[in-house]
Structure 1
Amino acid sequence: MLTVDFDRLGIGPGTKVIDVGCGAGRHSFEAYRRGADIVAFDQNAGDLADVQTLFEAMAEVGEAPDYAKAETVRGDALDLPYGDGAFDVVIASEILEHIPRDGQAINELARVLKPGGVLAVTVPRWLPERICWALSDEYHANEGGHIRIYRADELRDKITARGVRHIRTEHAHALHAPYWWLKCAVGVTAEKNPLVSAYHRLLVWDMMSAPPLTRVTERLLDPLIGKSVALYFAKPVVRLGGN
């Protein structure tokens, strides 16, 4: 399940991509499939071991082009171990809401993006997230949990202040918002609740089958209750000597 729209990133053979806070690797795998040189970056060693295993499996079965490169790197998003302008594309999906010093993380995302490159940032959307917080403290008040709720325009301005240009805002995963509201209402860990289980089966079926009815329904609902907001930015190219 991708939150970032890869058709907006211009990823192709040899594109240098870093997926900061890659988690289970969903965006890293898609970049690899498209032929990128991808760095899956995270602080969780267990997640990175699983991502590396799947990178190797993808290479073995030919799910990624032979020329594509994939590696996992453990580190801190507040201090990325790369030079300025090292990457054509920078992805940071659903991580900033976890980071106390989000401004420093944003500085790093913008710093390692090369001029002319694209930055994609996604976070939980304000309204669906407010409902979750109102229904359940357990949803967010835990170690490593969500520590803030962003308004899209405030986050956009915070990122553009780092010298990148906002190019688009989209919303995603409308069908997932009611699922999380339901979980928050009955208990976030109540996976065996009949309503939660039934809705989860629906979401899995939708992801595996992508039936036209649910795909159209979600596209119509995304602007209203999309669970995530995705913001896209471009780093200006500095032209010297009037050229």
Structure 2
Amino acid sequence: MLTVDLGRMGIAAGDRVLDLGCGGGRHAFALYRAGAAVIALDQDSEQLAEVCSMFAALAGEVPAGASAAAVMGDALALPFADATFSKIVAAEVLEHIPDDTRAIAELYRVLEPGGRLAVTVPAWLPERICWALSKEYHTNPGGHVRIYTSVELQTRLEAAGFVLRGSHHAHGLHSPYWWLKCAVGVNNDNHPLPKAYHKMLVWDLMKHPLPTRLAERLLNPLIGKSLVVYADKPLAEVPNAA
């Protein structure tokens, strides 16, 4: 289940792509399958080990020239040279980082001029409801430290030098699931209501039935769980001829 639209990213074979805060690797695997040279970066060594294993399992299924590696690193001090990547995905990461201004500056630094960034964060309304229903939802160690409005996120990206290229919301069917989880207890995995809703989400993910696909399309602008923003790093200025 991808949050970022790889078509809007313009992913092409040979693109050097960073998946910042890769987590379980869902975007990294899709980028690898698309033929990119992918670096999946995270601070969680256990998750990175699993991502490495999946990269190895996919090696025989990807286009010639594709590559993938997992790297442990800090979003506030990325272990890469300036202008290393042609594309960057930062999905559900910035809301965890107290110094998000510095993290965005690092993304700008390692993206090449003309490159594209996709940032996703929890959308304001669904996230606000989750916070209202459950303190535990956002106060766990490593949890969410802020709720972005669309304007706030886009303003921060522009302040770093990015040029905005569009936005959308995703996962409208997932917001009610998290509201249920927050209402009955985030760690209460046995409550019948979220369990039943989760089964529906799995069914939707596996079968892609038309009714739920249409429902999500209608719900995304209203209660999409994630806000996705696309932005470019401007091309370097050409010096005036003498």
Query: Which TM-score band applies after superposition, normalised by the shorter structure?
Result: over 0.9
Partner in structure 2 of residue 63 of structure 1? 61
The percent of aligned pairs where both chains have the same amino acid is: 56
Partner in structure 2 of residue 11 of structure 1? 11
Q: 1:81 aligns with which of 74, 79, 82?
A: 79
* Structure 1 residues 54-85: Cα deviation after superposition (integer angstroms, max 9, x where no partner): 000001xx321131000000010100011111
CA distance in 2, matches of 1:95, 1:4: 13
Q: What displacement does 1:184 show?
A: 0.3
Q: What displacement does 1:238 show?
A: 2.1
4-13 vs 174-183, greater mean Cα deviation:
4-13
Q: 1:219 aligns with which of 203, 217, 220?
A: 217
The alignment partner of 1:41 has SS state of strand
The alignment partner of 2:218 has SS state of helix
**Aligned counterparts, 1:86-235, within 5 A:** 86-235=84-233
Q: What displacement does 1:2 show?
A: 0.5
Unaligned runs of 5+ in 2: none
Give structure 1 regions of 4+ aligned residues with deviation exceeding 6 angstroms.
none
**Is it true that 1:35 corresponds to 2:35 in the alignment?**
yes
TM-align CA RMSD: 1.0
Partner amino acid, structure 1, of 2:54: L
The alignment partner of 1:139 has SS state of helix
* Structure 1 residues 135-193: Cα deviation after superposition (integer angstroms, max 9, x where no partner): 00011111001111011111100011111100101000000000000000001111111
The alignment partner of 1:140 has SS state of helix
Partner amino acid, structure 1, of 2:38: I
The alignment partner of 1:122 has SS state of strand
Q: What displacement does 1:242 show?
A: 5.5
Q: 2:235 aligns with which of 231, 234, 237?
A: 237
Partner amino acid, structure 2, of 1:22: C
- State the TM-score, normalized to the length of structure 2: 0.98
CA distance in 2, matches of 1:167, 1:66: 30
The alignment partner of 2:190 has SS state of coil
* Structure 1 residues 190-240: Cα deviation after superposition (integer angstroms, max 9, x where no partner): 111111110000000101111111111101110000000000001111241
The alignment partner of 2:137 has SS state of coil
CA distance in 1, matches of 2:109, 2:159: 12
Partner in structure 2 of residue 46 of structure 1? 46
Partner amino acid, structure 2, of 1:42: D
CA distance in 2, matches of 1:228, 1:63: 30
**Is it true that 1:21 corresponds to 2:34 in the alignment?**
no
- State the TM-score, normalized to the length of structure 1: 0.97
